[in-house]
Chain A
Amino acid sequence: MTIKKAKFGSLQPDIENLLDLTPEDFAPATQEQKEGFIPDRESTSYWKDAWRRLRQNKVSMAALAVIILLILFAFIGPMFVPYGYDQFNRGAENLYPWHYSLEDQAILDGVLGSDDERIEAAIAAAEKEKGSALTSIEIAKIKATAKASKLDIDEFKKEHDIKLKPFGYSKSELKRIEDGEKVFPHVCGTDKNGRDIMVRLMVGTRISMLIGICAALLVLLIGATYGSISGFFGGKVDAVMQRFVELIYSIPEMLVVLLLSTALKPSLENFQNSGSGFFQSLVGTLGPNLISLFVAFGLLYWVTMARIIRGQILQLKEQEFVTAAKALGAGSGRIIKRHLLPNCIGQIVVTTCLQIPAAIFLESFMSFLGVGVSSPMTSLGSMASDALGGVQTYGYRLVIPALLLSIMILAFNLFGDGLRDALDPRLKK
């Protein structure tokens, strides 16, 4: 092609400065030089990229750390505590998560004891004066005046420098410590049967987590299978399958879950006692309660997952790579497994992860209502439920499991959110 060499007068001014260019500068560049010109950016895979994004998300990393701590707490923790979750520690009933040293306790007992003695003495004196037994009203009056003149306990504690010390010990345990024995403290106190609350918390957390993860996997299995079949085949199959999904949606799920778990329990117990096969022992280890919860959850909660997967598959199957796979003669199963599901893996992972807190939620809910995990097994929900009765005196028994539960669900939720942002940057909001 020809270039008109017409008017060249009006060069831009900065060109003048460039006139010291040497002829070498205008030598053609080699292919290698051209190739080396653009710095190669490190190519990153989908997962590597997602992991990088996840790592940058401080909140979800913190949530992950909390989850790991909770797993350690729930699964490793009980090994270090010498109490069983169903072990009644006699003499250690109703301990608070704090204690007084033995001397302080003695002083306090002295004061409190003298209080009672004073009342009794006052009553006796009054009886003598009156010459006959006192009416209950009179006794109440005397008690009231005695109480009014009672020592201010807080003041008294300050005076004698009596301070609360962390962790609960029973008196006999404190004595054993004095004798030089090592006694493991009841970090969170004990309940009315003397069971160590911390161990129960650990076991409860374990149950909640197990239920959460297993139920989420169950939901994943059913939902992904159902959704991908429905989405992939489309047409009549899809229409019928979607009607069924709508049907499940219209079920008052909470009621049916309640019914289902109540109904399943006895038959599972029968099954457990029917022999000693693998499944029977499995039922025995997990407990009929847990299994009926799984089943109830799995049967009703897969619909959301199925809907999401179906939507994704419907979108994906129109794309060229699926047509290409079909053209190459791949069967339906292979296309679903090899081409469609891997492409919505991000959505699947995120939905599964967010299903975990939902399952934990439900389990605690059921246990709180008294139809979930039952005694002697424990869960955070049933612990909170048990504590409801004595809430005014033993508030910590309600607050600790409730907070632990909330923190666990919060951590899973935050981690799930972070995972979603990392796996699907388009959804990042």
Chain B
Amino acid sequence: MKNANDKKLLEVKDLKVSFFTPAGEVKAVGGITYDLDYGEVMGIVGESGSGKSVEAYSIMGLLQSPGKVVGGSIMFEGENVLNYDKNKMNDFRGKKVAMIFQNPMTCLNPVYTVGNQLTEALRAHHKDISAADAKKKAMEMLELVGINNVEKRMTQYPHEFSGGMRQRVMIAMGLICSPKLLIADEPTTALDVTIQAQILELMKDLQKKTGMGIIFITHNLGVVAEICDKVSVMYAGRIVEQGLVSDIFYNPSHPYTVGLLQSMPRVDAEEYERLIPIEGTPVDMLNPPEGCPFAPRCSQCMQICLKKLPPYVEIEDGHKSACWLRVQENMKCKEEQANG
């Protein structure tokens, strides 16, 4: 599935996004780096306000004032998306990258039929397609996402669909131009649990069929385990740990990841096991402290954590973590090596 010239599908380097509010600059995303291969599925996990959606919006160029990208680069197939002008951006959105959102109830325009909104997405990028062809394609897509009675459904309005059905429509709309990357911003959060499973199943299916890359933004580690190849854990605008799903689940190396895992119910728990919540609240992003933002909530907090941001330590190939504990271990290890 790799491209001939060995470019990555998406490379984000040191991306920084700030919101310039009257009260001051809020560094919503403070320098994150990751890459995504063709056909790869990456999960971005974090609490609300950790900057995961903001990061996705900046890829799509959907940041609204007062939000602004203040540094870094977003390379899509070797081109920096941040340098795109308005027209190129419009062409890029929808055609190469599609996005689906958290709340399917409000994401479809209530005053237009579903068919209208579907074909509109297609015709925005294929000017010469005929109305009949566009309709045919839209109906195919609806069938693909598992909607029955397509002919009739095309002429209905969003309020005549249930939440799960609307999310299916959203997915169909996103995929109608066969994008290479799909950004899903908490696509299952607003849905019932049973519907969640169906939508996840559908996305997995479609990913296999189309071979697109997916960035899956969620706060639910369970969903990540289900669908993703690799995971980035975000906290306060930074990636604190990054690795393959197996790394994160079986070998978490950042106390925040550990906390997340402990606060999640597991079916494979050996015996009665308490869920352990993460104490405390996230930091004030308007006024971030020096040092590690997780420090005040961390049970293993050290002096240095309150003074300096931890650097990334590569634990295994492709498994990085930003925690002073890992630095400490690393130093000890080096000392031992030096001492023979």
* Interchain CB contact under 8 A, A38 and B283: yes
- Does B22 belong to the interface (CB within 8 Å)? yes
Q: How far is the CB of B318 from chain A (nearest CB, A)?
A: 11
Chain A residues within 8 Å of chain B by Cβ, number: 29
> Across the interface, which residues of B come within 8 angstroms of A278, CB to CB?
none
Q: How far is the CB of A400 from chain B (nearest CB, A)?
A: 40
* Interchain CB contact under 8 A, B314 and A26: no
* 5 closest cross-chain pairs (CB), A and B: A25-B304, A29-B301, A34-B296, A10-B314, A37-B296
Query: Which of A13-21, A80-88, A133-141, A329-337 participates in binding chain B?
Result: A13-21
14 chain-A/chain-B pairs, Cβ below 8 angstroms: A6-B316, A7-B317, A11-B314, A15-B330, A18-B327, A25-B307, A26-B302, A28-B300, A29-B303, A29-B306, A34-B306, A37-B296, A38-B284, A39-B284
The one of B22, B287, B303, B311 that contacts A25, using a Cβ cutoff of 8 Å: B303
> Across the interface, which residues of A come within 8 angstroms of B327, CB to CB?
15, 18, 21
- Does B107 belong to the interface (CB within 8 Å)? no
- Does A24 belong to the interface (CB within 8 Å)? yes
Given contacts A26-B302, A27-B302, contact A35 B296 (CB under 8 A): yes
Which has the most chain A C-beta neighbours within 10 Å: B283, B295, B304, B324? B304
* Interchain CB contact under 8 A, A28 and B314: no
A38 to B306, CA, bound (A): 10
The A contact surface, by secondary structure, is: loop
A56 to B300, CA, bound (A): 43
> Across the interface, which residues of A come within 8 angstroms of B289, CB to CB?
37-39
* Interchain CB contact under 8 A, A56 and B303: no
> Across the interface, which residues of A come within 8 angstroms of B303, CB to CB?
24-29, 33
- Does B200 belong to the interface (CB within 8 Å)? no
* Interchain CB contact under 8 A, A21 and B304: yes
- Does B199 belong to the interface (CB within 8 Å)? no
> Across the interface, which residues of B come within 8 angstroms of A7, CB to CB?
315-317
- Does B313 belong to the interface (CB within 8 Å)? yes
Q: Please give me the residue from chain B that is nearest to A10 by CB atom.
A: B314
The one of A18, A33, A38 that contacts B311, using a Cβ cutoff of 8 Å: A18
* Interchain CB contact under 8 A, B328 and A26: yes
- Does A236 belong to the interface (CB within 8 Å)? no
A34 to B295, CA, bound (A): 7
- Which parts of A56-102 form the interface with B (CB within 8 Å)? 56
> Across the interface, which residues of B come within 8 angstroms of A3, CB to CB?
251, 253, 329
A37 to B253, CA, bound (A): 23
Q: How far is the CB of A329 from chain B (nearest CB, A)?
A: 33
- Does B12 belong to the interface (CB within 8 Å)? no
- Does B197 belong to the interface (CB within 8 Å)? no
- Does B157 belong to the interface (CB within 8 Å)? no
Chain A 32-48 per-residue mask, 1 if CB under 8 angstroms from chain B, else 0 = 01110111010000000
Chain B residues within 8 Å of chain A by Cβ, number: 36
Q: How far is the CB of B322 from chain A (nearest CB, A)?
A: 10
- Does B305 belong to the interface (CB within 8 Å)? yes
A11 to B321, CA, bound (A): 11
- Does B312 belong to the interface (CB within 8 Å)? yes
> Across the interface, which residues of A come within 8 angstroms of B287, CB to CB?
39, 41
Q: Please give me the residue from chain A that is nearest to B302 by CB atom.
A: A26
Q: Please give me the residue from chain B that is nearest to A53 by CB atom.
A: B22
Q: How far is the CB of A17 from chain B (nearest CB, A)?
A: 9
- Does A243 belong to the interface (CB within 8 Å)? no
* Interchain CB contact under 8 A, B306 and A12: no
- Does A160 belong to the interface (CB within 8 Å)? no
- Does B334 belong to the interface (CB within 8 Å)? yes
A8 to B313, CA, bound (A): 9
The one of A12, A19, A41, A56 that contacts B312, using a Cβ cutoff of 8 Å: A12
A267 to B329, CA, bound (A): 94
Chain B 262-304 per-residue mask, 1 if CB under 8 angstroms from chain A, else 0 = 0000000000000000000001101101010001100011111
* Interchain CB contact under 8 A, B333 and A5: yes
- Does B223 belong to the interface (CB within 8 Å)? no
- Does B258 belong to the interface (CB within 8 Å)? yes
* Interchain CB contact under 8 A, B302 and A29: yes
* Interchain CB contact under 8 A, A56 and B22: yes
Chain B 104-143 per-residue mask, 1 if CB under 8 angstroms from chain A, else 0 = 0000000000000000000000000000000000000000
Given contacts A3-B253, A12-B311, A14-B311, contact A26 B304 (CB under 8 A): yes
A28 to B304, CA, bound (A): 9
* Interchain CB contact under 8 A, A12 and B314: yes
- Does B62 belong to the interface (CB within 8 Å)? no
* Interchain CB contact under 8 A, B302 and A25: yes
Q: Please give me the residue from chain A that is nearest to B308 by CB atom.
A: A18
Chain B 14-36 per-residue mask, 1 if CB under 8 angstroms from chain A, else 0 = 00000000100000000000000
- Does A182 belong to the interface (CB within 8 Å)? no
A301 to B240, CA, bound (A): 59
A131 to B143, CA, bound (A): 114
A94 to B327, CA, bound (A): 92
> Across the interface, which residues of A come within 8 angstroms of B311, CB to CB?
12, 14-15, 18
> Across the interface, which residues of A come within 8 angstroms of B306, CB to CB?
29, 33-34, 37
* Interchain CB contact under 8 A, A41 and B284: yes
> Across the interface, which residues of A come within 8 angstroms of B331, CB to CB?
19, 21
> Across the interface, which residues of A come within 8 angstroms of B308, CB to CB?
18
A4 to B330, CA, bound (A): 12
- Does A1 belong to the interface (CB within 8 Å)? yes
* Interchain CB contact under 8 A, B324 and A8: no
* Interchain CB contact under 8 A, B330 and A8: yes
Q: How far is the CB of A23 from chain B (nearest CB, A)?
A: 9
Q: Please give me the residue from chain B that is nearest to A34 by CB atom.
A: B296
Which has the most chain A C-beta neighbours within 10 Å: B286, B300, B317, B330? B330
Q: How far is the CB of B335 from chain A (nearest CB, A)?
A: 10
> Across the interface, which residues of B come within 8 angstroms of A56, CB to CB?
22
> Across the interface, which residues of B come within 8 angstroms of A15, CB to CB?
311, 313, 327, 330
Q: Please give me the residue from chain B that is nearest to A1 by CB atom.
A: B258
> Across the interface, which residues of A come within 8 angstroms of B305, CB to CB?
29
A18 to B328, CA, bound (A): 11
Q: How far is the CB of B120 from chain A (nearest CB, A)?
A: 27
Which has the most chain A C-beta neighbours within 10 Å: B300, B317, B327, B333? B327
* Interchain CB contact under 8 A, B313 and A12: yes
> Across the interface, which residues of B come within 8 angstroms of A29, CB to CB?
295, 301-303, 305-306
- Which parts of B70-129 form the interface with A (CB within 8 Å)? none
A56 to B331, CA, bound (A): 52
Which has the most chain A C-beta neighbours within 10 Å: B253, B308, B314? B314
> Across the interface, which residues of A come within 8 angstroms of B317, CB to CB?
7, 10
> Across the interface, which residues of A come within 8 angstroms of B330, CB to CB?
8, 11, 15
Q: Please give me the residue from chain B that is nearest to A27 by CB atom.
A: B303
> Across the interface, which residues of A come within 8 angstroms of B291, CB to CB?
37
Question: 19 new A-B pairs (CB below 8 Å) besides A8-B334, A27-B302?
Answer: A1-B258, A4-B316, A6-B315, A8-B333, A10-B317, A15-B313, A15-B330, A18-B327, A21-B327, A24-B303, A25-B304, A26-B302, A28-B301, A28-B302, A29-B305, A29-B306, A39-B284, A41-B284, A41-B286
